[in-house]
Amino acid sequence: MKSAFQRQSPGEAAILDAAVQLFSTNGYDAVSMREVASAAGVSKANIYHHFASKETLYRAILDQSAADLSGLVETLAASTGSFESRLAEFAAGHLQHLDRNPLASRLIIREAFSGDNQRSRILVDQVFGDIFERIVAIFRAGQQAGSLRADLDPALCATLLMGADVFFFQARDVLAQFPDVEFACHSPRFSREMVEVLLRGMMNSPMEVRA
Amino acid sequence: MKSAFQRQSPGEAAILDAAVQLFSTNGYDAVSMREVASAAGVSKANIYHHFASKETLYRAILDQSAADLSGLVETLAASTGSFESRLAEFAAGHLQHLDRNPLASRLIIREAFSGDNQRSRILVDQVFGDIFERIVAIFRAGQQAGSLRADLDPALCATLLMGADVFFFQARDVLAQFPDVEFACHSPRFSREMVEVLLRGMMNSPMEVRA
DNA sequence: GCTATAACTGACCGTCCGGTCGGTCAGTTA
DNA sequence: TAACTGACCGACCGGACGGTCAGTTATAGC
């Protein structure tokens, strides 16, 4: 793919746009290069002019998706404030980030959770790992400050928080079909109540801090 | 497929065994009928003797997987006891059930969360929905008994609980690679701490009940 | 043993797969 | 103006896809 200093041709851009749509929706194996070409409005041979193989094209899409999602890590790094506010900020920001990058999110999540047949194990683990470590760091800081209960594993707490967002992102369409599940269409409400429950379950109560 | 009163031929059984392995690991699109035949030790044509098409074979696998997972619903229906004990029982039982049926679990979860290209929307939604409704019912009962906070949405609580287990099941292999994540190899520990945090965050405190 | 049927198979089919080849075209540069 | 280059394409390639067919073998029932 072109470096940052070279402008993409219209064809290349169209190919990438079409590919991210198709791969994100249907997965790697169900998408043919003819399909990508047709959706992009170019010939299949033109894809091979820009990308050495189907695998290379997919890898380019994954790289871009990873870059899209890594914006969240920067946000986390810049975050300051009390333990509670940082957590609330993360939970809302994380889910919002997933929602704003649905294609990238779905791609990375699918790769992360797929079985043995994986194309970019290292990249995906890194994306997940970076985000995960940042969350764990917040929990550790909270524990050292006496806000988070000392008997809880910060990594387990991070798993609960991250898992809630990722599951919601994945399951939202299914949940929306069940009766009385209004929050399925309202991410901020889910985030708010989820964080409230988790914080209440994880925090040292004021009495305990004073004692 | 044969009815319950007819015995499967060795070939048919081998085909189903091979197919569930391959489809569960690699997904529908990445698995060819030649691959299934080879893994089953039969000819490809023999698959078509027993199953009208690839789709029919896959549907048979899904039906079986749904039946495997529905055992959990029966367990939930039979459960009695206090709100807390029912929740703890569910959380541990749910994850244990996923662990004991990894192939079926992975298949159903993948179908539930895949994009527009779905083969058994109704079946999968039903499996998920049945389990979900049972959990919501437990939360509702707890709320009516005054154990669960009145300001919480039972469906949202059910989402948090179910989501924690499903995410853990999906992400465990990824998590295991991160530093200091020992619980990734220890489902019971995850279940215990997860329920403890959620319950603490969701329960009416004894003081509030008395007031 | 005979018959009917289920189970099974190698060869085949049309179509589609990822990828290649030889070319054209428009723009840029020397 | 000739040479070069990146973008692009129709036609083609060998192989693989899901599925079919006629024949063979195994099994069950009489």
Topology given in CATH for the domain delimited by A64-210: Tetracycline Repressor; domain 2 (1.10.357)
Which positions in chain B touch A133 (Cβ < 8 Å)? 178
Encoded tokens for B144: 């009516």
Residue A190 has pLDDT above 90, yes or no: yes
A88-92, B117-121, B132-136: least confident range: B117-121
pLDDT at B199: 93
**Reported ipTM exceeds the 0.85 cut:** yes
Better-scored residue on pLDDT, A140 or B209: A140
pLDDT at B125: 84
Better-scored residue on pLDDT, B161 or B73: B161
Q: What angle do CA A152, A156, A160 make, to 5 degrees?
A: 115
Chain mean pLDDT for chain B: 87
Residue A118 has pLDDT above 90, yes or no: no
Residue B145 has pLDDT above 80, yes or no: yes
Better-scored residue on pLDDT, B121 or B52: B52
pLDDT tier at B116 (50, 70, 90 boundaries)?
low
Question: CB A112 to CB B24 under 8 A?
Answer: no
Angle between helices A154-175 and B121-144 (to 10 degrees): 120
Topology given in CATH for the domain delimited by B8-51: Arc Repressor Mutant, subunit A (1.10.10)
Nearest C-alpha neighbor of B91 from the set B195, B202, B198:
B195
| Ordered alpha helix ranges (H), B79-186 | 83-100, 102-113, 121-144, 154-175
pLDDT at B166: 95
pLDDT at B19: 95
pLDDT at B5: 45
Topology given in CATH for the domain delimited by A6-51: Arc Repressor Mutant, subunit A (1.10.10)
Chain mean pLDDT for chain A: 87
Report pLDDT digits (tens) over B4-42.
Answer: 445 678 899 999 999 999 999 999 999 999 999 999 999
Report pLDDT digits (tens) over A19-29.
Answer: 999 999 999 99
Q: How far is CA A88 from CA A21, A59, A113, in A?
A: 31, 33, 26
Find the radius of gyration of the CA atoms of chain B: 20
- Using C1' positions and the CA of A36, the closest nucleotide is C18
pLDDT at A6: 56
Which positions in chain B touch A196 (Cβ < 8 Å)? 201
A1-5, A17-21, A50-54, B19-23: least confident range: A1-5
**Rounded Cα distance, A20 and B148, in Å:** 44
User: What are the residue ranges spanned by the domains of chain A?
Assistant: 6-51, 64-210
A106-110, A114-118, B157-161: least confident range: A114-118
pLDDT at A90: 87
Residues 33-62 of B with CB under 7 A from strand C: 42-46, 49-50
pLDDT tier at B58 (50, 70, 90 boundaries)?
very high
B23 touches chain A (CB under 8 A): no
Chain B nearest-CA residue for A184: B156
Contact B55, B47 (CB under 8 A): no
Which positions in chain A touch B155 (Cβ < 8 Å)? 175, 178, 180-181, 183
CATH number belonging to domain B61-210: 1.10.357.10
The backbone torsions φ and ψ at residue A119, rounded to the nearest 5 degrees and listed phi first, read -100, -25
pLDDT tier at A150 (50, 70, 90 boundaries)?
very high
Residue B117 has pLDDT above 90, yes or no: no
Report pLDDT digits (tens) over A34-51.
Answer: 999 999 999 999 999 999
pLDDT tier at B2 (50, 70, 90 boundaries)?
low
Chain A nearest-CA residue for B128: A174
Give the type of residue at A12.
E
